[in-house]
Amino acid sequence: MANYASVVVESDLLQLDREFDFLVPANLSETVKVGQRVKFQLGRTKKLATGFISALPAESSFATSELVEIVDETPVVTVEIFALARQVANRQAVALGEILQQAVVEHMPRIMKSEVQGSPQGVISLPQIPGISALPERSAVLTSARSITFETLRYPDWCWLFLKAANDALVQGKSSILVLPEKDQILQLTSLFKAVGLESAVTTALPGARKSDRFIGFHRVLEQDVSIVVGTRSAIYAPVKNLGLIAIFDDADDSLREQGSPYTHAREIALMRAVSGIKLLLAGNYRSLEVQRLVEIGYLKDLSINLPPARISFSPPAQRLDAASFKLMRDALENGPVLVLIPRKGNSATVYCAGCDERLVCQSCKGPIWETEKGEYRCRVCQGISHGCANCGSSKLRRGRTGSTRTAAEFGKAFPGITISEFTSDTKVSAVKKSKHLVLATPGSAPRVEGGYAALLILDSDVWLSMPNLRAEQSAVRDWMEAIELLSDSGRAHIAGLDPDLGQAISLGQHRELASTAFREVNSLSLPPAARIATLEGTQETISLALDAVTKLGAVILRSNLAENASALIRFSYSQGPEVSASLKSLALKTNARLVGANKRRGLKIVMDDPGAL
CATH number of the domain to which 23 belongs: 3.40.1440.60
SS3 86: helix
114 pLDDT higher than 60: no
Pair (34, 131) in one structural domain: no
Which tens digits make up the pLDDT trace of 484-511? 999 999 999 999 999 999 999 999 999 9
Which tens digits make up the pLDDT trace of 360-403? 777 777 777 767 767 777 787 787 777 677 677 677 777 666 77
Last residue of a domain, one of 257, 284, 304: 304
547 pLDDT higher than 70: yes
Domain annotation covers residue 288: yes
Q: CB-based burial of residue 107 (10 Å sphere; 0-12 exposed, 13-18 middle, 19+ buried)?
A: middle
Pair (235, 372) in one structural domain: no
Residue type, position 223, single letter: E
Residues 6+ positions from 524 with CB-CB distance below 8 Å: none
- Please state the pTM of the whole predicted model: 0.90
Last residue of a domain, one of 245, 274, 304: 304
Contact 601, 594 (CB under 8 A): yes
**CA nearest 453: which of 489, 422, 488, 480?**
488
pLDDT value of residue 599: 47
Domain count, the chain: 4
596 pLDDT higher than 90: no
pLDDT value of residue 595: 45
What is the per-residue DSSP string for 496-527? ES--HHHHHHHHTT-HHHHHHHHHHHHHHTT-
CATH number of the domain to which 374 belongs: 3.40.50
CB neighbours of residue 52 within 10 Å: 26
Mean pLDDT along residues 10-29: 92
Interaxial angle between packed helices 289-296 and 511-524, expressed in degrees from 0 to 180 and rounded to the nearest 10 = 80
pLDDT value of residue 294: 97
* Mean pLDDT, the chain, whole residue set: 88
Residues 6+ positions from 386 with CB-CB distance below 8 Å: 351, 360, 362, 363, 369, 377, 378, 379
Residues 6+ positions from 105 with CB-CB distance below 8 Å: 76, 211, 214, 215, 218
Which tens digits make up the pLDDT trace of 548-593? 999 999 999 999 998 878 999 999 999 999 999 999 999 998 887 5
Pair (118, 99) in one structural domain: no
540 pLDDT higher than 60: yes
CA distance 115 to 109: 12
Domain annotation covers residue 527: no
600 pLDDT higher than 50: no
Pair (9, 126) in one structural domain: no
**CA nearest 478: which of 497, 458, 492?**
458
Pair (564, 596) in one structural domain: yes
Pair (467, 537) in one structural domain: no
Contact 448, 184 (CB under 8 A): yes
575-597 exposure pattern, b = at least 16 Cβ within 10 A, e = fewer: ebbebbbebbbebbbebbeeeee
Pair (318, 439) in one structural domain: yes
pLDDT value of residue 122: 59
Best-predicted range by mean pLDDT (112-121, 210-219, 279-288)? 279-288
User: Which DSSP helix (H) or strand (E) runs through 89?
Assistant: helix 79-92
Which tens digits make up the pLDDT trace of 275-323? 989 999 999 999 999 999 999 999 999 999 988 889 999 998 877 888 8
Which tens digits make up the pLDDT trace of 324-359? 888 889 899 989 999 999 988 876 667 777 767 677
**CA nearest 352: which of 394, 405, 406?**
394
Pair (216, 337) in one structural domain: no
Domain annotation covers residue 526: no
Q: Could you list the residue range(s) of the whole structural domain that residue 236 is in?
A: 114-304
Q: How confident is the model at residue 422 (pLDDT cuts 50, 70, 90)?
A: confident
Percentage of residues of the chain with pLDDT beyond 90: 58
Pair (173, 286) in one structural domain: yes
